[in-house]
Structure 1
């Protein structure tokens, strides 16, 4: 298809696309849970700071209508509709497009829930496009409603930073959770390695690989955001953007550390499994060694010769048992003295 063709790329969703909006300044906040396209037109050009949040990008007509209101290029709209897009940032004369990934990890799951979020930043407006309803932005909504911090005293660029910061903080939370899981898994492997442990290692390796693909490109996005001077991003938030950069660097370092831990854990698994097998073989060898002389004695008296003096003696049978018990006791004492078991 020609460039700029508007086609949704991603998982199939049947939910209705919903739009919410928040208009605010230092003195008041107006929120709409279900805004229509007609409601958005005056908001985009309002003197108040506006945050428009679109839940769902599978409805091409809705995304296209909002994009035209904002004045996006068709290629930009095409990127928003492609939920498999690599994280990126593009700067234009009066707006920017930033695409990042929002991640979540269930308590008992190893697979990441990855959702694409597209940001459009204008002078007084932030538009966010999400794949589905539900996000990490409730702390920002709470700060707006309760007038906490400096978010209502600042512009759209600070709102943009606050939303991005929530997403990137989640990266660190997920990495802390993965570190705890890897530490628990290491303890289980040291105690009792089994096939389930190997399966967990492989699942965690896939999770870390997903994190690497998600987090690593964001570093480039933040670097461009810090170094590019545009009129709709004020110099006053440069320090906050640097804080985001530090978080991303830390997240990348944690990803690489966890990745190395998993490869080391794989070596520990095989080493522990080998040690466990060696212990089993040692026990079996000791048992076999003890039975060698006993088998020798039993073999001698199992021969069918007619003239074997001991066979005719009344104390022959108990004597053989006594000899066998003495030999077994001597061998066990010897092995114990050598600390072989």
Structure 2
């Protein structure tokens, strides 16, 4: 709720401003924006912390492949300075500052901008952490703009440090693919986790449906809706990436891009499957609840039916008329009890043979 209010307030601030006006749109951040970098080639690599604006220009102009990572985009002035060093259009910078942007890709003569979402699912609840990552791909440089510290890119950093695979022998386009691949693999991991949780929820509902079950279904529906809004547009992004021929993406990378396209298609299929399962789970919930209510009503009906003749007998001998010869018998009281017990037993046997319980 607070995030939505913040986003709405920032959008209101932009009302009436000319295109390209730089306003940060997103959740309020207090941590300092930091810039780190990795420069590498087939012979080695270097890591840099607290990279200055001038150092960014030096890395871009060097012969090595550079990965510049900006942690935080809430410092509008700093992001603007970095964008100017990269030669980005003001509208591109505006998109980077809007952390609620729909996934997209824009191609320019010497670079591209792609915006995707990095996801993380809470282990304790259905809360989905959605962080926007903006990529700038140039001939020898990849720049990533993240909302905050912490990401999924440690496997890529490890590959660079240990020179695993072809990443150090390839260019910025392969590094760009590797970073996207890590993000999209996380989509599949989250969907597998969601499938397991939905299956567990289905078992709980079949066993004992209650009000908490309905609340859980609605929470999972909201999470699946968020996943659909996040994952579905990425398919269009990857399609454009595959079909567009640009000089800073080599032909041999197309095979790798096709691989992440397959991952996105699979993730979308899993989202739709989970969405259908949840709607089916609602039917299961109401059916289980109805069956549970029917069982309760059946027990109550059987109890009521058994007490009807017993109430009738007790009503007769509770009228206290004077001329009732049974009242003066010595064995009248135990005789009535015996008759009631026999009637109850016979009715229970009859109900059992009818499989009513």
- TM-score w.r.t. structure 2 length? 0.95
Cα distance, 1:37 vs structure 2: 1.9
Question: How do 1:1-341 and structure 2 match up within 5 A?
Answer: 1-341=17-357
Cα distance, 1:338 vs structure 2: 1.2
Cα distance, 1:128 vs structure 2: 0.2
Cα distance, 1:138 vs structure 2: 0.2
Q: Which runs of 4+ in 1 moved over 2 A?
A: none
User: Any idea what SS the aligned residue of 2:168 has?
Assistant: helix
**Contact 2:214-2:285 within 8 A present in 1 as well:** yes
Per-residue CA deviations over 1:237-289 (Å, capped at 9, x if unaligned) read 00000001000000000000000000000000000010011001001100110
**Contact 2:73-2:146 within 8 A present in 1 as well:** yes
The 1-side partners of 2:209 and 2:332 are apart by: 50
The 2-side partners of 1:207 and 1:267 are apart by: 19
Query: Where do 5+ consecutive residues of structure 1 fail to align?
Result: none
Per-residue CA deviations over 1:61-112 (Å, capped at 9, x if unaligned) read 1111110111000000000000010000000000000000000001012011
Cα distance, 1:339 vs structure 2: 1.2
The 2-side partners of 1:148 and 1:109 are apart by: 36
User: Any idea what SS the aligned residue of 2:126 has?
Assistant: coil
User: Any idea what SS the aligned residue of 2:67 has?
Assistant: strand
The 2-side partners of 1:325 and 1:70 are apart by: 94
User: Any idea what SS the aligned residue of 1:58 has?
Assistant: coil
User: Any idea what SS the aligned residue of 1:152 has?
Assistant: coil
Cα distance, 1:34 vs structure 2: 2.3
The 2-side partners of 1:166 and 1:255 are apart by: 18
The 2-side partners of 1:15 and 1:107 are apart by: 25
Per-residue CA deviations over 1:279-319 (Å, capped at 9, x if unaligned) read 01001100110000000000000112111010011111111
The 1-side partners of 2:67 and 2:199 are apart by: 41
Cα distance, 1:36 vs structure 2: 1.9
The 2-side partners of 1:287 and 1:195 are apart by: 27
The 2-side partners of 1:34 and 1:299 are apart by: 93
The 2-side partners of 1:30 and 1:58 are apart by: 27
Cα distance, 1:40 vs structure 2: 1.2
Deviation larger for 124-133 or 305-314: 305-314
**Contact 2:53-2:85 within 8 A present in 1 as well:** no
The 2-side partners of 1:130 and 1:22 are apart by: 16
The 2-side partners of 1:72 and 1:193 are apart by: 55
- Name the counterpart of 2:4: none
Aligned alpha-carbon RMSD (Å): 0.6
Cα distance, 1:27 vs structure 2: 0.7
Q: How many residue pairs were aligned?
A: 341
User: Any idea what SS the aligned residue of 1:51 has?
Assistant: strand
The 2-side partners of 1:103 and 1:163 are apart by: 14
- Name the counterpart of 2:5: none
- TM-score w.r.t. structure 1 length? 0.99
The 1-side partners of 2:270 and 2:201 are apart by: 17
Cα distance, 1:44 vs structure 2: 1.0
The 2-side partners of 1:147 and 1:323 are apart by: 92
